[in-house]
Amino acid sequence: LMDAEIASQPEHWRKAVDLADTAAHLLPPHGRRLAVVGCGTSWFVAQAYAWLRESAGLGHTDAFAASEFPIGREYDEVLAITRSGTTTEVHRLLAALPEGTHTRVLTGVPSEIAAAAGTTIDLSFSDEKSVVQTRFATSALVLLRAHLGHDLSRAIADAETVLRTPVDPDVRAAGQFTFLGTGWTVGLAAEAALKLREASVSWTESYPALEYRHGPISIAQEGRVTWMFGTAPEGLAEDVARTGALFVDNDLDPLADLVGAQLLAGALAADRDLDPDSPRNLTRSVVL
C-alpha cells in the first residue's frame, strides 16, 4: 500500500493544485490571525504551512500540536489538519475553543469531523489506506502552498524525478539519520524523521539546521547520515564531512526531497524485513 501511495503523489499534487482554485473560498483567508493544529504528521504539515503563510506576509500564523494549543490565546481562526478526522486531541480542541473562533478542518474523511468544524476542506481523493501517512500529508501541503500563490510545477517535476531515482546505497546502508531544515523545511525534516521511524523502526532525529552545531553534531560519525532539506547554511556540509558522517543535500523542491525520504523509509523497511503496512505499535489514528 505505502509504496503505491508514495508513487501516486505527483498525480495527487496536480489535483491538489486544482483544488486550491476551486476551493479557494474554503481555505484560510489572508490577513486573519490563524493557528494551525494537528497531531503527528499533520502537525508537521501545520508547522511548514504556518511558517510559509506568515513569512509571505499573509497574517500572523502559529502551529501547535493539537494537544498543546494554548487555550486562552486568541486567534481569528483555527485550521485543524487531520487525515482520519477521528484524532481525539483534535476533536477535544475544536470543542474547547472560545465561541467566535472560526474553525476549519482539512481532512481525508469529512464524514468523521465535518460536524465539529465551521468549514470543511475535503481532501478525500488523497486519503490513503496506510497507517503511515505519505500522500495525504504532502497533498495537503501542496493545496495550502498553492493557496499561498506558490507555483508547484517544479515540485511536481522534481517528485517525478525522485520517484525514478533509486535510493542511494550509501544512505541506505547507514544506521542512524538526522534530518535538518530551516524555515518551512523544519517541519519537513521532522516529518522525514517520523517516516523512517514509523515505516522502518530506524533511529532518527530532526533539528533546525543551525541548531545542529549546538550539540546534536556530537553523535555524527561514519555510518550515519545528516540530510538537509532546502539550502544548507554556509559551512555545514564541511562540518558534517569532518565527522565522517554522510551529508545529503540537493537542489530539489524540499517537498519532492521528502518523497526521497519516504522512499528511503520503504527501502529500509524492506532491508529489515519489516512490513511498512503493518507498522509496529501504531494505528491509523489515535483515538483515546
Residue 128 CB, nearest distance to ligand F1P (Å)? Answer: 10
Nearer to ligand F1P, 157 or 282 (CB): 282
Q: How many residues bind ligand F1P, per CB under 6 A?
A: 17
Nearer to ligand F1P, 71 or 288 (CB): 288
Residue nearest ligand F1P, CB atom distance? 40
Give the three-class secondary structure for 53: helix
Nearer to ligand F1P, 144 or 240 (CB): 144
Binding mask 121-160 for ligand F1P (x = CB under 6 A): ----------xxx---------------------------
Residue 239 CB, nearest distance to ligand F1P (Å)? Answer: 32
Q: Does 195 bind ligand F1P (CB under 6 A)?
A: no
Residue pair 222/244 in contact by the 8 Å Cβ criterion: yes
d(CA 134, CA 81): 14
Q: Give the footprint of ligand F1P on residues 200-229 (CB under 6 A).
A: none
Tell how strand 61-65 and strand 176-181 pair up.
Answer: unpaired
Q: Give the footprint of ligand F1P on residues 35-94 (CB under 6 A).
A: 38-42, 82-84, 87, 90
> Residue 56 carries which side chain, given as an amino acid letter?
A
Q: How many CB atoms lie within 10 A of CB 69?
A: 22
Nearer to ligand F1P, 37 or 267 (CB): 37
d(CA 155, CA 163): 12
Q: Give the footprint of ligand F1P on residues 229-288 (CB under 6 A).
A: 282, 284-286
Question: Is residue 161 exposed (0-12), middle (13-18) or buried (19+ Cβ within 10 Å)?
Answer: middle
Residue keyed to cell 474523511? 109
Give the three-class secondary structure for 178: strand
Helices (H), 148-213: 153-164, 169-172, 185-200
Site residues, ligand F1P (CB under 6 A): 38-42, 82-84, 87, 90, 131-133, 282, 284-286
